[in-house]
């Protein structure tokens, strides 16, 4: 098993974070500095900052309704970080990000595999949002948003957009550029006042209250986890 996968399966971090730790020299393998791509066999000893890794943790998959003001980071020094807010007994981390000023659904887990599966851009996983702007938005602006808007020198992928009210619309994206929706609105002359994510792939926010979390159901997991080949 590759070292980054071995580390992520203990629930301490994602594979991506494990690669950073390995590159930074924080990981040893059988007493020697580990390298990216190291293969771990049964009985091997892997340590992080000199501390041996424990056994593989039971997978945890949570749906969390992030309130405005909570930051999607595992860094303990950041006030209002998502891990401290949830206060779970096990070490967990968010799958991707949701801006501090945004709210709604974010998945939280200790499974590094699911992080990689969801964040791979080529998988084109859908994420759905309800957006409120500061003034009535025109049909032309919504059509332009659906066709693609140039932000940060990149033309966004075509997406589905549906008006819900004069200044409220639903948008379904299959990419996740930095602050994408806010930048798309700004490029068309609008300001996103409220941005709520209501769905990730097959997981719905539903009636989950702000600041609350729940475990994913078996049916939700079946549609979310990568299928064995």
pLDDT (mean) for 136-141: 98
Give residue-wise pLDDT tens across range 186-206.
999 999 999 999 999 999 999
Q: Does 107 share its domain with 208? A: yes
- Tokens representing 223 are 């549609």
Would you say how long the chain is, in residues? 229
- Tokens representing 210 are 């702000």
Residue 23, in any domain of the structure = yes
Q: Does 108 share its domain with 207? A: yes
Q: Does 132 share its domain with 173? A: yes
Helix H or strand E encompassing 22:
helix 15-23
The yes-or-no verdict on residue 229 having pLDDT over 50 is no
| Residue reference for tokens 């929706």 | 181
| Residue reference for tokens 């056994």 | 55
Give residue-wise pLDDT tens across range 56-108.
668 899 999 999 999 998 888 889 999 999 999 888 889 888 999 999 999 99
Known catalytic residue at 84: no
Residue 183 sits in a domain whose CATH number is 3.30.70.1560
Q: Does 185 share its domain with 78? A: no
Q: Which domain holds residue 14?
A: 3-52
Give residue-wise pLDDT tens across range 152-192.
999 999 999 999 999 999 999 998 899 999 999 999 999 99
Q: Does 28 share its domain with 133? A: no
How many C-beta atoms surround the C-beta of residue 38 within 10 A?
19
Residue 229, in any domain of the structure = no
| Number of compact structural domains in the chain | 3
Using CB atoms within 10 A of its CB, is residue 209 exposed (0-12), middle (13-18) or buried (19+)?
Answer: exposed
On whether the CB atoms of residues 200 and 124 are closer than 8 A, the answer is: no
pLDDT at 135: 98
Residue 216, in any domain of the structure = yes
| Residue reference for tokens 């981390």 | 93
Using CB atoms within 10 A of its CB, is residue 11 exposed (0-12), middle (13-18) or buried (19+)?
Answer: buried
Q: Does 186 share its domain with 73? A: no
Q: Is 206 left (phi over 0), alpha (psi -120 to 50) or beta?
A: left
Q: Does 131 share its domain with 194? A: yes
pLDDT at 52: 87
Residue 39, in any domain of the structure = yes
pLDDT at 206: 95
Higher pLDDT, 9 or 129: 129
Q: What is the DSSP letter of 97?
A: -
Q: Does 115 share its domain with 142? A: no
Q: Please tell me the pTM assigned to this model.
A: 0.76
Phi, psi of 72 (to 5 degrees): -85, 75
pLDDT (mean) for 22-50: 91
Residue 176, in any domain of the structure = yes
On whether the CB atoms of residues 20 and 117 are closer than 8 A, the answer is: no
Residue 42 sits in a domain whose CATH number is 3.10.290.10
pLDDT at 227: 53
Residue 112, in any domain of the structure = yes
Residue 77 sits in a domain whose CATH number is 3.30.70.580
The yes-or-no verdict on residue 121 having pLDDT over 60 is no
| Cα–Cα dist 151/84, whole Å | 33
Residue 156, in any domain of the structure = yes
From the list 99, 139, 143, 165, the catalytic residue is 99
Q: Does 130 share its domain with 190? A: yes
Phi, psi of 84 (to 5 degrees): -65, -35
Q: Does 116 share its domain with 207? A: yes
The yes-or-no verdict on residue 226 having pLDDT over 60 is no
Q: Does 77 share its domain with 187? A: no
């Amino acid at each position: 098993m590759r070292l980054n996968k071995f580390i992520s399966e203990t629930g301490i971090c994602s594979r991506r974070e494990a690669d950073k730790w390995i590159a930074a020299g924080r990981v040893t393998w059988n007493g020697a500095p580990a390298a990216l791509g190291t293969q771990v066999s049964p009985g091997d000893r892997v340590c992080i900052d000199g501390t041996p890794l424990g056994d593989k943790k039971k997978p945890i998959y949570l749906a969390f309704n992030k309130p405005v003001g909570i930051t999607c980071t595992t860094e303990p020094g950041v006030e209002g970080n998502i891990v401290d807010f949830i206060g779970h007994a096990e070490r967990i981390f968010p799958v991707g990000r949701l801006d501090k000023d945004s709210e709604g659904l974010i998945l939280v887990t200790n499974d590094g595999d699911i992080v990689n599966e969801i964040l791979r851009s080529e998988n084109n996983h859908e994420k759905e949002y309800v957006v409120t702007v500061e003034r009535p938005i025109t049909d032309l602006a919504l059509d332009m948003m659906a066709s693609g808007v140039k932000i940060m020198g990149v033309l966004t992928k075509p997406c589905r957009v549906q008006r819900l009210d004069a200044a409220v619309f639903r948008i379904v994206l299959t990419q996740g550029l930095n602050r994408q929706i806010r930048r798309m609105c700004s490029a068309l002359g609008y300001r996103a006042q409220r941005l709520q994510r209501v769905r990730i792939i097959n997981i719905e926010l539903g009636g989950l209250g702000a600041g609350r979390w729940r475990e994913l159901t078996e049916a939700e997991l079946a549609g979310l986890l990568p299928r064995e080949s």
